[in-house]
Structure 1
Amino acid sequence: MKKQWTGWGQHEQAEQHYLVEPRALAGGGDIRHISEFLRASGWRDTSEKGGPLLLQSPDRTVRIAYNPHVQPGGWTVHGLAAGDQAEWWATLGRQTPVEILAGLTDALTQPRSAHAPNVWAPLEEHQWRAQSEGRHYTATSPDGSAWLHFRQDGSGNAVWWSGAKDQQGSAWTAQFTSTTPMHLVQAFSAALASPEPVMRPRGRLPHSAKIRATSVSVLPSELRAWQQARITAARAATWARNSVRRPRPRTTVPPHAPAGGARARR
């Protein structure tokens, strides 16, 4: 007798994962969350074998690097001067959760909103505590584990500094130069303030008494489907942008050849 087909994943074994909150203390995570999305968005992978991850935007104005083999190691996002935009940098420690970094890197692939950016709005929405002191302004998460700090030096140059810490000290820090586009800093702050937990596999949980971890069973096919959905969305958005930019085919009818003109050869 033939065995009856009972559906995809019938022989799969569920794997234990954890939903971790607050997300700022969840640890770095899988860098493919960043790299595969950018590749699907048309970014070029210029990494050398065995070297750090290097990705370049389609217009070659932004480069993203991840190098865990140096101290302190982590992420560097570098934007070249272009038009009215001055050169800018953002550096983030290697324990920066990829879901928070993706707020910034995903925004690099999307058209800029017509609305003026407001870095503090996502933090206020989620009840972060604000404190000002002269030219310094700090917002802290309700549980005190994460912060975003703004300051101006004597010349009026602005610096954005962010990070997270647990009972053992600093988990990670991030810094943005004064020239970093504000809509990118806002995208980062929105991802930082999000109350949504992030998923980590068993064995990848940070040792921190400040995190709350909820055990969940996940099929490998489910995990692949979630990852693929993010990549598919990036490809669809890239195709839509490119189709708008692509010149439309000419629809005018060419003039008829004059009577008695040369005939096409057979």
Structure 2
Amino acid sequence: MPVSERQLEAFADTHAWRIPFDTSPRYLAGPGDGRHVTHGLAAAGWIRTSDPLSPEIVLTSPDRRYRLQFDPQSATSAWWRLWAEPTDGTSWYAEFGELVPAEILAGLTDALIGPPPSEQPNPFRSLGWAGWVIEAQNSAVSLDGMCHVELRTNRVNGSAPHWHIETAEPLAGRLGAQIWHASFDEHTPAHLVEAFVTALASPAPLQRGMYQRTAHHSAVQKPSHPPTRQQALDAHTTRLDALRTQARAARRRQQPATTTAPAPPTSTSSALRR
């Protein structure tokens, strides 16, 4: 499902005419534009398998292995859900709250399209490099105390550790009211968690328009230089082109090697030999 010219034009119009502000920390920037996620997956060949007239969006990967749901009418705190169907007997699931910034979620979906890294993933290493406080071997917290990353172990049922990320109101010594969350079950590939965490902890601000919703009143906003319409369009299409190329390369790697068998003799050649 390629992104159409009309959809690209609409994206450019949205971002070219807003008065932009650099917003940080990025985990408080608010949801932003979900098309950072949906356009990226569409460029990689994912198709919409939900009712086109419904506010719910379900995108399915070309091999039918992955499915992403965005449901703004969800009765739970999770508006984004990602499923992986089993291929080697293992499936996994992840969910994300309403106020998760789309650019952070796109860090994960972009990594889902590309090949896994060659080195062993370590989400806590990425957080340490970004200056977060590593509280123990299984948890880290942002410097303002509002975002926590934890590798949880359920001691009751003995399940494998799973990742939980939560942004919440700061309270002395504990978490306050939840702002948004992200949860990954125990089978989620670690390199996808690391991609999400790396995007989460990046010091680069996210751009939000004037009056656009942020996740918390303590988010810091500074006026930013507005892009021209063409600059907004070029930046978006460059990213989509890169994702399209990655997806094609990944599909080529997954195709089994084939050998060409010699063609059987035609009836004419058989008659000549007789």
TM-score normalised to structure 1 length: 0.81
The aligned residue for residue 261 of structure 1 is 272
The aligned residue for residue 139 of structure 1 is 140
1:238 matched to 2:239? The reply is no
Checking the alignment, whether the CA contact within 8 Å between 1:16 and 1:218 is kept in structure 2 is: no
The aligned residue for residue 229 of structure 1 is 238
The aligned residue for residue 201 of structure 1 is 209
Aligned partner of 1:104 among 96, 105, 108: 108
C-alpha distance in 2 between matches for 1:260 and 1:82? 50
C-alpha distance in 2 between matches for 1:246 and 1:178? 30
- 1:104-136: CA deviation from partner (whole Å, max 9, x where unpaired): 11111111223222121110111211123xxx8
Instruction: Give aligned pairs, total.
Output: 246
Unaligned runs of 5+ in 1: 1-12
C-alpha distance in 2 between matches for 1:260 and 1:56? 52
Residues 208 and 119 of structure 1, relative CA distance in 2, 3 Å threshold: closer
Checking the alignment, whether the CA contact within 8 Å between 1:94 and 1:172 is kept in structure 2 is: yes
The aligned residue for residue 117 of structure 1 is 121
C-alpha distance in 2 between matches for 1:19 and 1:92? 23
Q: What one-letter code is carried by the residue in structure 1 that aligns with 2:119?
A: H
Where 1:238 maps in the other structure, the secondary structure is: helix
Alignment of 1:149-228 (within 5 A): 149-154=150-155, 155-166=158-169, 169-206=177-214, 208-216=216-224, 217-228=226-237
Checking the alignment, whether the CA contact within 8 Å between 1:73 and 1:94 is kept in structure 2 is: yes
Residues 158 and 171 of structure 1, relative CA distance in 2, 3 Å threshold: same
The aligned residue for residue 132 of structure 2 is 128
Cα distance, 1:80 vs structure 2 = 1.6
Cα distance, 1:205 vs structure 2 = 3.9
1:77 matched to 2:86? The reply is no
Percent of residue pairs identical: 29
C-alpha distance in 1 between matches for 2:197 and 2:69? 21
Q: What one-letter code is carried by the residue in structure 2 that aligns with 1:18?
A: F
Cα distance, 1:88 vs structure 2 = 1.3
- 1:114-172: CA deviation from partner (whole Å, max 9, x where unpaired): 3222121110111211123xxx8220012222110112122143121102234684221
Checking the alignment, whether the CA contact within 8 Å between 2:20 and 2:209 is kept in structure 1 is: yes
Alpha-carbon RMSD: 2.8
Checking the alignment, whether the CA contact within 8 Å between 2:66 and 2:85 is kept in structure 1 is: yes
Residues 229 and 147 of structure 1, relative CA distance in 2, 3 Å threshold: same
The aligned residue for residue 54 of structure 1 is 58
Tell me which moved more, 160-169 or 60-69. Answer: 160-169
Residues 215 and 259 of structure 1, relative CA distance in 2, 3 Å threshold: same
Residues 260 and 243 of structure 1, relative CA distance in 2, 3 Å threshold: same
TM-score normalised to structure 2 length: 0.79
